[in-house]
Amino acid sequence: MGALSAGAFGFHHLRRRHPICPALSQGEEELALITGASSGIGREISLELARRGFGVILVARRADKLQELASDIRALLADRKRMVPIHIVPADLSCPEAARRVYESIVREKGLQVSALVNNAGVGYTDSFLKMPTAKIEEIVHLNALSLTQLCWLFGQEMASRGRGRIMCVSSIAGVAPGPLVAVYSASKAFVSSFTLAIQHELEPEGVSVTNLLPGATFTEFQARAHAQAAAAFSVPGMAMPADRVAREGVTGMLRGDSVVVPGLVNQAFVLATAVLPPKLLRLVTSMAWSEVPI
């Protein structure tokens, strides 16, 4: 497994003792951009950040779902007699130039300053590689890898010029090992983790913390989209986690400036096991996780 083994994830320095991202000056507001905010982990991350006082910029394709989330955030904060700014930016990030258009609309047109970028939007499909339509392969690579990279570059420049910022990229434990039946998805997440850990090293001196969140199986819309409802990873009791817990652990890690967050003991054990399992056995384990079990 080499570069993406558990050792490379540096479990010994998962938690930071000193924050990298400096404190805000008085009067400044924290504003977080969350991609894939319309459902699942991204929705919960948006709620969690709003709960912690961040203004939010919600990005996804389904504007109606983003409006619903905005109402839920308003209702949640009204109970607490607080409010945060909420912006909605509908966008299809699997299209060329979409990342740049999102950036232009937020920074140039709306004049907003993003202090936290959460690259969460992602898709995967279970199928044998040769049966996958090329359009789906391109969608996965463009959304999961290319748009994420472009957003890091565009907003990373801004953050570095201000000397503060936070970035969190949502990868997956599926990226720690090759994944038969989800070959392109796993490879895209391996890209995300490798890229995230590399820029973490480069951006730290600029005052920008970069966190790699690696959820394991999580109950969201992902299973249905990926045609993985019957996959062992989701149907074996105790394997999958609720999205709000994954989001809470991710947000806590990002705000602390942690390098890597792997929610859940079973997922942490899996990541560690990838360092010692022989490659053939590892691929057998991952293919079993994505195979259907009778329900």
Return the range that interacts with ligand NAP (CB under 6 A); candidates 3-11, 47-55, 116-124, 156-164: 116-124
Q: Residue holding tokens 């977080």?
A: 32
Region near ligand NAP per CB under 6 A, out of 15-23, 80-88, 119-127, 273-281 = 119-127
Q: Which range binds ligand NAP by CB under 6 A, 20-28, 59-67, 76-84, 257-265?
A: 59-67
Q: Verify binding: residue 117, ligand NAP, rule CB under 6 A.
A: no
Q: Is 93 in the site for ligand NAP (CB under 6 A)?
A: yes
Is there binding between residue 42 and ligand NAP (CB under 6 A)? Answer: yes
Residue 251 tokens read as: 């947000």
Quick check: 274 binds ligand NAP (CB under 6 A)? no
Site for ligand NAP contains 245 (CB under 6 A): no
| One character per residue 197-226, x = contact with ligand NAP (rule: CB under 6 A) | ------------------x-xx-xxx--x-
Q: In this chain, which of 56, 102, 170, 254 binds ligand NAP, going by CB under 6 A? A: 170
Among 33, 46, 65, 149, binds ligand NAP (CB under 6 A): 65
Q: Is 61 in the site for ligand NAP (CB under 6 A)?
A: yes
122 binds ligand NAP (CB under 6 A): yes
CA dihedral of residues 177, 178, 180, 181 (deg, nearest 10): 80
Residues noted as catalytic: 185
Site for ligand NAP contains 62 (CB under 6 A): yes
